[in-house]
Structures are given as C-alpha cells and as structure tokens.
Amino acid sequence: DIQMTQSPSTLSASVGDRVTITCRASQSISSWLAWYQQKPGKAPKLLIYKASSLQSGVSSRFSGSGSGTEFTLTISSLQPDDFATYYCQQYNSYSTFGQGTKVEIK
C-alpha cells in the first residue's frame, strides 16, 4: 500500500497569507497526485490533478508542484472562501488519500 502523509495537520493563517501544504508518498508515484478541498458537510472539490494541472474553473491562486514522493499545494493569497480541509490523493497504484490538512482562521 502507498501511504500518503500530509503536513501540517492544521494550519492557522490570515486572509492574504501565502499557504503551503505538503504531501509525501511512501514510494514514488510519479506525478499521479490530486488535491481536493472539502468544506464541512460538503463533498470534496477537485483543485489539482497530475500534480500541477489546474482543474477547469478553479482559481489560479491554487497551484500544485512536485513529483516522485514530495508534493505541495500552494494558495498564493488566502481568501475567506479558502478556509477548509485539503486532501491529497495518489492514483499511481489504486488510490489512497492523505489524512487532511485543516486551514483555519488565525
């Protein structure tokens, strides 16, 4: 099984901050990584696929990078609507998700 580890688990930030979330895979997954945003009581929303490809309709303040075992999701300027939980997902071998990173208001 490929394990996905996100850090930090919780992140406190202010509107306008640049935010970076890290996701590490237990073995190489090439660029087969996606990022999702989830708000309470709602289904997740796809932000990024193939490590760095922005999903259609998603704000360009979201960006993804990385390959192999280390990946990052960056929010360039945090907006009020961005306070949520973020998950990475590997799909190199079956699929596993990270445990989530909650972005909360500082």
> Closest separation between CB of residue 66 and another protein, Å?
16
Residues listed for the chain: 106
Residues contacting residue 49 through CB under 8 Å, at least 6 positions apart: 34, 55
Q: Which is nearer to another protein, 34 or 103 (CB)?
A: 34
DSSP assignment letter at 82: G
10 near another protein, judged by CB under 8 A: no
> Closest separation between CB of residue 97 and another protein, Å?
4
> Closest separation between CB of residue 67 and another protein, Å?
16
Q: Which of 77, 84, 74 is nearest to 16 (CA)?
A: 77
Residue type for 51, please? A
- Give the interface with another protein as residue ranges (CB under 8 A): 1, 34, 36, 43-46, 49, 55, 87, 89, 91, 94-100
